[in-house]
Structure formats: structure tokens, C-alpha cells
């Protein structure tokens, strides 16, 4: 399902936000790249696709190059934050209400990757996913995957499956208790830090790469892999993310 109208099951990546030092420049870049429009909700700039929320931007004068922050759905933000601390993680920002939209917290896992918790209220999170110009997946990239696998299985009740399609890589699917795959952990020995990576679906990777450069960003050359044609894009502030055009069918 690509259109979301209610809260996602706990443990599902459900919202993404980016802190930027210049909101005007950020809205220009992402508007040109993905065709997003915008609405204000308190301190949050809500990014819209077809009039529906797909991401958020917030102003932070001290923001440096960073990844998009992924928020995982929870039915009880306060309890989830306690579970994260009990599992050896850290609570960076205590649970707090974002207007009437949600209750959120920022946390860090046992390998140093930051992410968020999202208890949807009036706002369930991304309402368009798995469509061009919207979120398609999130993967944790870390040089220390085993404690990460243990942490997320403990906190969110994920089951863990290796990827038989790519046996040469240390990649683990994270699945909800019902078997639905929602994310992954990629063990990369060359990773200098642990972070959640964000991938957006696009209709045409090569065209998106050209738009990124024209809008003031940078991009790697597109590359064909098992799941589609992919490239890494860097926005004007140094934030890296991936774009992928999946094969039809």
C-alpha cells in the first residue's frame, strides 16, 4: 500500500525529517528535485506530494551534514523510549508532543545510530510511500551489525533474515512479527560511523541525478543493481541519500 491513512504497525519506519541551516534553500532544492510543495505546522515544514505529507524539514542554524532522521511508529512513545534505554540505547530528546500531530522522541541505538519514535495522533506520518518522489526504504549501515541486530530485535520484536539474493553482502532484513519486511541492517566494514540511510523512489534515476545537479546538489553516477537503478544524491548542505527507480512489475 502506498497511501497511508492511519498509524502504521509499531516498528515500521513511518516518518522522516531533516534539520537544515537554511529552510528557503532546502525547500527550493527538494521542490526542484521531487516536486514537493510545503505547508507550515508549528516549527515543522511539512513536505507534500499530491497534497499529502511525505517528509518534514526543520530549521537548525547549527545543522551540519547529516542523514535524514527516520522515525519508527510506536503506540506508546514514552514506553518505547524506556525500552530503548533498558536495551542499552540512549534517549537524546525525551518524549514530547508536537502540537496535536504526534508524540515524538529522538534516541540512539547501541552502535551509535540516531533515530526517532513517532506516536501518531492527528498525523500518522508519511501518507505517501513506495511511489516516485517518496520514501521507499531505510537501512542501517554499520561496521558492527551483530549488536545492532540484537538491539532492534529486542526493542521492536523484529525477526531477522539474511538476504539470499545478495549472499556476498552482510545484509539482514528486519521483519515485523507478521513477517512483513520493513527495513534492513547492512554490515559494512568500511563504515566509519553507524547511521540510518534513506532511499527515495523515483521514476527515472538518470533524470533525477540531472535535476539534483541543476538544483545545486551533487550525485554519483547511476548504477544498476538487483533491485533497480540507484544513485547517491548529496543536497546543498552535504546530506546524502539514495534514489532508486525500481524495475516495473
pTM passes above 0.85: yes
Q: Which domain holds residue 113?
A: 13-120
pLDDT classification of 249: cutoffs 50, 70, 90: low
Is 6 inside any structural domain?
no
Q: Same structural domain for residues 69 and 116?
A: yes
Which residues are registered as beta bridge partners of 201? 134, 244
Give the per-residue pLDDT at 108.
98
Is 69 inside any structural domain?
yes
Q: Which of 55-59, 93-97, 225-229 has the lowest mean pLDDT?
A: 225-229
Checking if the pLDDT of 20 tops 70, the result is yes
Is 51 inside any structural domain?
yes
Type and span of the H or E element at 80 = helix 77-86
Is 104 inside any structural domain?
yes
Q: What does the block give as the cell for 25?
A: 534553500
- Mean pLDDT in residue range 160-171: 86
Going 229 to 217 to 118 to 127, the CA torsion angle's sign is negative
Q: What is the CATH number of the domain that holds 64?
A: 3.10.180.10
pLDDT in tens, 73-103: 999 999 999 999 999 999 999 999 999 999 9
**Count of domains forming the chain:** 2
CA distances from 86 to 92, 155, 175 (A): 14, 9, 22
Amino acid at each position: 500500500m502506498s497511501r497511508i491513512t492511519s498509524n502504521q504497525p509499531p516498528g515500521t519506519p513511518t516518518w522522516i525529517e531533516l534539520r537544515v541551516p537554511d529552510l528557503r534553500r532546502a525547500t527550493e532544492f527538494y521542490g526542484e528535485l521531487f516536486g514537493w510543495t510545503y505547508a507550515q505546522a508549528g516549527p515543522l515544514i511539512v513536505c507534500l506530494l499530491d497534497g499529502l505529507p511525505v517528509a518534514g524539514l526543520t530549521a537548525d542554524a547549527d545543522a551540519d551534514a547529516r542523514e535524514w532522521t527516520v522515525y519508527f511508529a510506536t503506540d506508546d512513545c514514552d514506553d518505547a523510549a524506556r525500552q530503548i534505554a533498558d536495551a542499552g540505547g540512549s534517549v537524546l530528546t525525551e518524549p514530547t508532543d508536537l502540537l496535536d500531530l504526534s508524540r515524538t522522541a529522538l534516541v540512539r541505538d547501541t552502535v551509535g545510530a540516531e533515530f526517532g519514535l513517532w506516536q501518531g495522533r492527528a498525523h500518522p506520518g508519511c501518507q505517501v510511500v513506495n511511489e516516485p518522489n517518496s520514501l521507499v526504504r531505510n537501512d542501517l549501515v554499520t561496521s558492527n551489525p551483530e549488536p545492532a541486530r540484537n538491539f532492534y530485535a529486542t526493542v521492536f520484536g523484529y525477526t531477522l533474515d539474511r538476504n539470499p539474493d545478495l549472499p556476498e553482502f552482510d545484509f539482514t532484513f528486519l521483519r515485523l512479527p507478521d513477517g512483513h519486511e520493513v527495513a534492513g541492517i547492512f554490515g559494512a566494514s568500511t563504515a566509519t560511523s553507524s547511521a540510518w540511510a534513506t532511499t527515495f523512489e523515483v521514476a527515472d534515476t538518470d533524470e533525477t541525478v540531472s535535476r539534483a545537479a541543476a538544483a545545486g546538489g551533487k550525485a554519483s553516477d547511476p548504477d544498476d543493481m538487483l533491485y533497480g537503478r540507484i544513485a547517491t544524491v548529496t543536497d546543498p548542505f552535504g546530506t546524502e541519500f539514495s534514489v532508486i527507480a525500481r524495475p516495473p512489475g
